[in-house]
Amino acid sequence: MATVYFGLGANLGDRAANLRAACRRLQESGVRIERCSSLYETEPWGVAEQPRYLNAVCRGETALPPRALLALAKDIERDLQRTPTVRYGPRTIDVDILLYDDLRLETRDLTIPHPRLSERPFVLVPLAEIAPDLRLPGSDRSVRELLGEMDTGGVVRVEAPKLDV
């Protein structure tokens, strides 16, 4: 079994319900979700003129190989009505594979660890909540250390139930 971390985000529709539905679908499809972060409201990244996001990170275990996990993530996005728009544009759901064990992989359509993971407070804040001492593959710094080097002022914890599993 591989330990995997997912970044979940939504800024259209019922954002919290979309995050919960994605987490539930992962669990129903071969990923045993072990822990989820709190929900965090964040400013949009990449395209400023869009609604604020809700973000969370989940850790789980799976026997699915990385490409099958990517196909599952895309199926979940499609099932939850994500429609293609501009890059970094608004979406009902985004399911990103952040980490897959200590794997380092780079193909045309899948890069693990997620290529911008260490640059994004909206991912590092919830990741630090559930795995502060985790070291990213190829890095000698923990998630907590990476987070300490950036401005996290735009990431606000939401008083809402976690994505309990």
Q: What is the pLDDT of residues 31-73, one digit of tens each?
A: 999 999 999 999 887 777 889 999 999 999 999 999 999 999 9
- Residue 111 covered by a domain: yes
d(CA 116, CA 123): 9
- Residue 99 covered by a domain: yes
- Residue 97 covered by a domain: yes
Q: Answer for the pair 87, 68: CB distance below 8 angstroms, yes or no.
A: no
Write the CATH number for 37: 3.30.70.560
pLDDT tens readout for residues 9-36: 999 999 999 999 999 999 999 899 999 9
Band the pLDDT of 119: cuts 50, 70, 90: confident
Expressed as residue numbers, the domain containing 99 is 2-157
- Check residue 161 and give its pLDDT: 61
- Residue 54 covered by a domain: yes
- Residue 85 covered by a domain: yes
- Residue 162 covered by a domain: no
Active site residues: 82, 91, 94, 96
Model-wide pTM > 0.75: yes
Whether the pLDDT of residue 118 is over 70: the answer is yes
DSSP letter string over 59-76? EEEE-S-HHHHHHHHHHH
- Residue 163 covered by a domain: no
- Residue 164 covered by a domain: no
**Number of folded domains in the chain?**
1
Q: Answer for the pair 163, 23: CB distance below 8 angstroms, yes or no.
A: yes
